[in-house]
Amino acid sequence: MSFFLFKSILAMFFLLAAIIAVISMLSLMGKTEKKTSDKLLRKMHRVAGFVFTGLLLLISYFCLKYWAMVGDQISTRAVLHGVLSLALIIILILKLSIVQFYKQFLKFVPVMGIIVFVLSFVVFSTSAGFFFLRTLSAQAESSEISEPSQTLHQGNAEKGAALFKSKCLSCHYADKEENKQGPGLKNILKKERLPFSKRPPNVENIKKQLKTPFLAMPSFVSLSEQEIADLIAYLKTL
């Protein structure tokens, strides 16, 4: 199982816990007749809250680990995801602090709970939601078969190795096919299809993967044509 799939599955349970917590909170606050006892609703809200908080911390750990490995190659979407996640954590900490220590502000807790839920949904959408949408579109994208470039620069494998070490090694193995953060790249150009996009492993499709990547890989739009040629020359040696 890939890193992104594992994190996305955790995020689904995270969102489910948020939904249960907000529904139980609204049911407790509702003025209409309740089909479930207040005691059970409070227990559901508490358990869902613990699960939600635990998964939030676990997913945050994986995200920070990924950010540390990727460095300055992080995508704009991932930066937005991180900012929203930080806002979510801050509001959640404030909400829990009021419940435990500042009960004179309890009237603000329901509104903060709704804000936490909304942010949870948006955070899920910018990460796991994006991952699943891209996965569902895999079949359509894999049908885009590009012909090999006719104007490829002559690549230098030694320079390509240095580029790989600085930009790719944090997420990909060069000496094996096992997944790291992304797929291992040993024999990558000897396969029938690229691992995720399922496109043929020719020059144009590798360039497309670098410039407008499939799934969660960061974009390397700053790479020049010569640098891409150097990387491909190195990939041919794996």
The pLDDT value recorded for residue 150 is 46
**What backbone phi and psi angles, to 5 degrees, belong to 187?**
65, 20
CB 110 within 8 A of CB 29: yes
The pLDDT value recorded for residue 140 is 52
Chain segment 22-32, per-residue pLDDT in tens: 999 888 887 56
The pLDDT value recorded for residue 18 is 94
- For the chain, list residues with pLDDT below 70: 1-2, 31-34, 69-73, 134-153, 214-216
- pTM score: 0.64
Residue with tokens 């995508």: 75
Domains of the chain, by residue range, sit at 3-136, 142-235
Closest CA to 131 of 74, 82, 196: 196
Assigned CATH topology for domain 142-235 = Cytochrome Bc1 Complex; Chain D, domain 2 (1.10.760)
The pLDDT value recorded for residue 221 is 76
Taking the C-alpha atoms of residue 17 and residue 63, their distance in angstroms, rounded to an integer, is: 19
Chain segment 94-121, per-residue pLDDT in tens: 999 999 999 899 899 999 999 999 999 9
